Structure 1
Amino acid sequence: MTTPTSPSTGPAEAAVLLVLLPVTMGTTHTAQNALNADLNALQHKLGSIIRLLRIPETSHPAVVRSFQPDELPAMVLVQQGVEIWRQQGLPDGDAIIPLLMSKIQPLNNTTTLIS
């Protein structure tokens, strides 16, 4: 089974939006369902260009700490292992989509890094 990608990005080049979630986030069943629905809707709108990955502090505390967030929840956008954007809090509406899209870099085999 293959994962669809846009013409400008392949699976290794796709950006990943890490959603770092605190221990207390969505402690009620209703709150957890609402959070999951919001994040699923965001992933659907982002398509295959940006993959959304939830990282709960309860199950992955070392991973969450490795990003040294000032507060949780937080979002970190990474592309090819490099952090390109960060925000405290969760997305508020669809305004986040064009912002995220503007941050990612279309990459291809002819791209070279300049230091």
Structure 2
Amino acid sequence: MKPDERHPILISGQSAVLLIFMPPERADHQLKALLTALATSVQAHFGLQIRVLKIDELNHADVVRSFAITHTPSFVLVRMGVELWRQESLPNEPALILLIQRLLHTENHEVR
């Protein structure tokens, strides 16, 4: 990839972000398709409440290093610079949605 093809990751400081660290290019295409479908579904479920970003090491090596990701797929939920949750494996979609709802609801009540 050429340097001018890189895209910075821009997110609002107030937004909750679910980072999905994707397996490398050479990884199982079926797994990558499953992760893409999960990302799309979670984003559709939460709408503007969170932002779901798929992160790959090739394009965002600094982000991967900053989160000390050693296994993919990995999932990290962050809000206002604070890591709320992390998992190094493929989560069950309904359980993931419920977990995110609980974490964001709990955090909103603690902030007030």
The question of a shared fold, defined as TM-score above 0.5 by the shorter chain, is answered with yes
The residue identity in structure 2 corresponding to 1:22 is: P
Whether the 8 Å CA contact 2:75–2:89 is kept in 1: the answer is yes
Answer with 1 or 2: which has the greater Rg. Answer: 1
Whether the 8 Å CA contact 1:20–1:64 is kept in 2: the answer is yes
Moved over 6 A (4+): none
Q: Give the drift of 1:98.
A: 1.3
Whether the 8 Å CA contact 1:17–1:51 is kept in 2: the answer is yes
Equivalent position of 1:51 in the other structure = 51
Measure the CA separation in 2 of the matches of 1:16 and 1:25.
26
Measure the CA separation in 2 of the matches of 1:96 and 1:63.
22
Q: Give the drift of 1:31.
A: 4.9
Whether the 8 Å CA contact 2:23–2:32 is kept in 1: the answer is no
Query: Where do 5+ consecutive residues of structure 2 fail to align?
Result: 1-11
Q: Higher helix fraction: Structure 1 or Structure 2?
A: 2
Q: Aligned residues, how many?
A: 98
Q: Give the drift of 1:27.
A: 4.6
Measure the CA separation in 1 of the matches of 2:27 and 2:40.
15
Q: Give me the TM-score of the superposition, normalised by structure 2.
A: 0.72
Equivalent position of 1:62 in the other structure = 62
* Cα root mean square deviation, aligned: 2.4
